[in-house]
Structure 1
Amino acid sequence: MQIFVYNPNSSAPMTDLIARSARAAAGGNATIMAGGAFAPVPPSIEGHHDAAMAIPAMLDALRRAEAAGAQAHVIACFDDPGLAAAREVVAGPVIGIAQAAMQVATMLASRFSIVTTLPRSVPIIEDLALHYGMSHALQNVRAVDLPVLALDADPDHAHALLRREILAARNQDAAEAVILGCAGMSDMCKTLSAETGIAVIDGVHAGVRLAVALAGGGYQTAKTGAYGWPRDKSQDQHSASPLREVAQ
């Protein structure tokens, strides 16, 4: 079984981190095909404009991954950029890590909070929770006020800020689980859960495990309605945008 895990931004260190986290999540149950974008795609996705800039390259990468044998796909950005469009252009299941993490959280706890990077991400995540029908369980979206790329630049500082907000979510929000609201936080998940005594959920891990389950069950995206393709795909002309592939 092959699962394609795609980092929509052009940060090579983050693509490498996501690939490591995805392979750890898959264990021996699937082969992870990991990739990420190149410039001019932004090096981080921190708002609607960045997400829009990243989507065309992402759709092209998913098409090519499926042609190479990928049976399911994970979009490793917590904004879930272009998720509906991605489900249109490939047959296999496409998992957004925000949706995956929220669904896992509601199966483990009755209420959860999310800790993300910048304050500007808060309303975007709140809108996603509303769209996914999760607002009833979402207690709070907390921001550590760090840019995405600062997670890699100063991981110790980022870890300390995340730990503080996770404890606040537990003690002030009455959250029973906390979701890490950025793929760049995935390598801190286990340590933060052990340090805070609360279930901490990483969307990359959740997304990969759900992708493995869906692909293993032989499920594919429905093409008779919203995710159907209204014309012959061969008529579309797509630029072959470069893909940063991460070695096995």
Structure 2
Amino acid sequence: MAAERRHAQMNSYSDIELFSLATQFQPANYIELLSTSSVSTLVGCGQLCNQNVKCRTFDYDSYSFMCRLFEGAVETGSLVPSGSSTSLVGAVRFQPNLFAAFGQDCVQCTNSRYLICSSSNNNTCQCPENTIWNGVKCKNQGYEDANCSNNQWCRQDVEYRCNNMTIIKTDLPGNDLMWNTTANFSMCCSWCGNHSDCKAFTWISSPGMSFGMCYLKWSRGGGGTINPGYISAYY
């Protein structure tokens, strides 16, 4: 859905972009949820995000005071409708100039919100955990299902999960309800979860592309064959 954008300077270190009301953040993988806490104001939730070097996105509900922090950037997840009209999403804006000290001596990134000092890289300024340098700035690592070009671009600490479904790395031929492109396996999982007739699905990565094919199925059917890039789930 199209997002109405506003900007708020939470403090001198982060520019926060606010999206429209009645939305919440859906990360590419729920391992990206850093914390859930009760905070009295939107500004307070934004400040919590700013204080956590891993935090890139948050959502806040001014009725329940629930503040959720995520390490996933808003462009790697998605904004989805919320059941609450008082919920909205905020995202830290990561401009390239904020990463100018990358690769330089650690003295250049002392107290930096965006880079950390890495002793394993000759005491130089490097990207925080679970992010990677793309030549311009630090961006979130993807997952095995996100068409990563090499292992450095993908997180290696995450297994595939989809509710209480069984995960198999094979195709499930036939029994298709519908199909469409999705950015990753997790979004295919969410799409299946929103359809009561979906009892299984197959996600197929597309090498070199930023999306894959998601096939929802009314039944698991017979067993499929093991194929690189094929991941299926079933009840």
Q: Normalising by the residue count of structure 1, what TM-score does the alignment of the two structures yield?
A: 0.23
Larger relative contact order, structure 1 or 2 (CA cutoff 8 Å, min sep 6) = 1
Q: Please state which structure has a larger fraction of its residues in strand.
A: 2
